[in-house]
């Protein structure tokens, strides 16, 4: 996947790669992988953990006719601030 290649160039090798298919053969083209996501035959997630936080790349099924690529950034510093605020509110 092209986005995965760019993230790997910028942040180094991923900490975790999950690319599982519910079929005996694994597609080698991105369009075929997206098709498998649409059919609920694929679980795709790539995780990059760094000192500053975590980046997760996933491919998810939206509806029966579309799928999407999602990039989630979890900032460690701001996450800790939110956690402390939540604890203070209790």
pLDDT at res. 77: 80
pTM of the model: 0.74
**Of 16 and 85, more confident:** 16
Q: For residues 25 and 22, give the distance between their C-alpha atoms in angstroms, rounded to a whole number.
A: 9
In terms of DSSP H, where are the helices of 1-90?
A: 2-11, 30-38, 76-89
pLDDT at 13: 95
Domain count, the chain: 1
Q: What residue numbers bound the domain in which 48 lies?
A: 2-89
Give the pLDDT confidence score for residue 34 in this predicted structure.
79
- What average pLDDT does this structure show over 44-60? 92
């Amino acid at each position: 996947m092209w986005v995965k290649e760019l993230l790997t160039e910028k942040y180094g090798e991923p900490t975790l790669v999950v690319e599982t298919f519910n079929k005996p053969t694994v597609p080698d083209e991105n369009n075929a992988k997206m098709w498998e996501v649409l059919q609920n035959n694929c679980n795709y997630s790539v995780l990059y953990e760094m000192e500053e936080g975590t980046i997760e790349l996933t491919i998810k099924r939206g509806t029966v006719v579309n799928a999407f690529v999602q990039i989630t950034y979890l900032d460690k510093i701001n996450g800790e601030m939110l956690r402390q605020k939540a604890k203070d509110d209790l």
